[in-house]
Amino acid sequence: MEKLYGVIGDPIAQSMSPDMHNSSFKALGLEATYKAFHVTPERLESALEGVRGLGMGGLNVTIPHKVSVMKFLDEIDPLASKIGAVNTVVNENGKLIGYNTDGMGYVTSLKEILQEKSLENSSILLIGAGGAARAIYFSLLEEGVKQLDIANRTVENARTIINGQPSSLSKAMGLLEAENDLHAYDVIINTTSIGMYPNKDDIPLSLHNIKSSTIVSDIIYNPLETRWLQEARAKGAITQNGVGMFVFQGALAFEKWTGIYPDIDIMRNAILTKLGGTHKC
């Protein structure tokens, strides 16, 4: 019998996850389908009951349910607990288990472009302190990095994330302070929504202080190349957009549901076709 998977969110019409997962099911010849479901906050609990009742294989969870879904699950994976959010639910015979693949999706995409550099020796700056930053921060910590700082408009939100970590590993700062210190970092990651369609002309901070060969990464994928990434490229940085993170978080979720790690190029092509672009990274 065909297995049903899906993504829940509010809004959800713009989701590209169905294209990505259905292309993988098709390529692998699996009898499965993936749909987008519009679920409002007051319907979240009944939607999760529906997953059990219908025997669905699992779900992706997106805005605004990544935190609130946790109380309706039977078990939460340790990394998702640290992050404090779930983006993937696996239905194991009626037992719903929550995972977070966003951060590890990002880490996998970063490893693709690190080339001869290693994560353990890298000094990394995260810009932003929202849900995506939390996921990336705790996933990078799992990998072990030399330095992992957070700059944010509201410094208190950055402090909340790094709370409990040694000051030699992580510090929180404002955006202006970060701007002056950018030469200290090997990898700079924008996790804010600044530069995202329709506010395409805004940048999170000026890159005038970066050293050459810095990796500048923006987790936004619409547009495929933000103005900030254009500026980074003009300064000689190695740049990366958010398609990789999106594709790898999807691949890791797919593996949790099916036990099969899917073909990344098939997933990436499904997304790039949808976005109408060809930027590989």
Q: Which residues participate in catalysis according to the annotation?
A: 66
Which of the ranges 1-9, 19-27, 147-155, 177-185 carries the binding residues for ligand NAP, by CB under 6 A? 147-155
Dist CA 43 CA 46 (whole Å): 5
Q: Which of 51, 59, 132, 267 binds ligand NAP (CB under 6 A)?
A: 132
Helix, strand, coil percentages, rounded to 5, for the chain: 40, 20, 40
Find the residue with minimal CB distance to ligand NAP. 130
Which CB sits closer to ligand NAP, 30 or 275?
275
CA 277 to chain centre: 20
Could you tell me the smallest distance in angstroms from the CB atom of residue 33 to ligand NAP?
A: 22
**137 — phi, psi (to 5°)?**
-60, -55
| Tokens describing residue 23 | 């292309």
3-state secondary structure of 138: helix
Could you tell me the smallest distance in angstroms from the CB atom of residue 140 to ligand NAP?
A: 15
What is the side-by-side order of every strand in the sheet holding 172-173?
Answer: 172-173, 147-151, 123-127, 187-190, 215-218, 238-240
Angle in degrees, 0-180, between the axes of helices 102-113 and 243-258, rounded to the nearest 10: 120
Report if residue 191 touches ligand NAP, rule: CB under 6 A: yes
Pairing status of strand 172-173 against strand 187-190: unpaired
Could you tell me the smallest distance in angstroms from the CB atom of residue 239 to ligand NAP?
A: 14
Which of the ranges 70-78, 124-132, 253-261, 270-278 carries the binding residues for ligand NAP, by CB under 6 A? 124-132
Q: List the interface residues with ligand NAP, window 261-280 (CB under 6 A).
A: none
Report if residue 102 touches ligand NAP, rule: CB under 6 A: yes
Report if residue 9 touches ligand NAP, rule: CB under 6 A: no
Residue numbers in the known binding site for NADP(+) are 128-132, 219, 242
Interface ranges with ligand NAP (CB under 6 A): 102, 128-133, 152-154, 157, 191-194, 196, 219-221, 242, 245-246, 249
